[in-house]
């Protein structure tokens, strides 16, 4: 939690398998990894990654059901609301989420 801002969301080749490995027993860590990739794709306008980011957001939805927020981590609903505020015009992404 203390070093979550150090995650480089552009390192999807490492972070994707890491999130999958963590998802079973360490859901909070998996959510942090997935959010790093989502945030990177949206912040850096990586439209080629929107499909993956949408899939990651759906995974976060599932994982977040069993995760209590801690250490200042936004609850999932607040995270999605912030994404909509900050990236609401990225219709290509949101159409994939829907």
50 within a domain of the structure (yes/no):
yes
Q: Which residue has the tokens 């790093």?
A: 36
Distance CA 22, CA 88 (A): 29
CB atoms within 10 A of CB 79: 20
pTM: 0.92
pLDDT digits 0-9 by tens, 15-35:
999 999 999 999 999 999 999
- The predicted model gives 37-42 an average pLDDT of 97
| Residues of the domain holding 30 | 23-97
18 within a domain of the structure (yes/no):
no
46 within a domain of the structure (yes/no):
yes
Distance CA 24, CA 26 (A): 6
Contact indicator for 29, 21 with CB cutoff of 8 Å: no
Number of structural domains found in the chain: 1
Residue 95's pLDDT is: 97
């Amino acid at each position: 939690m203390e070093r979550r801002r150090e995650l480089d969301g552009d390192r999807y080749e490492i972070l994707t398998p890491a999130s999958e490995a963590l998802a079973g027993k360490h859901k909070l860590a998996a959510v942090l990894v997935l959010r790093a990739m989502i945030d990177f794709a949206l912040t850096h306008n990586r439209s080629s990654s929107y499909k993956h980011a949408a899939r990651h957001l759906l995974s976060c939805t599932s994982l977040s059901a069993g995760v209590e927020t801690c250490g200042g981590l936004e609850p999932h609903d607040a995270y999605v609301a912030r994404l909509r505020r900050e990236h609401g015009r990225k219709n290509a992404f949101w159409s994939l989420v829907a």
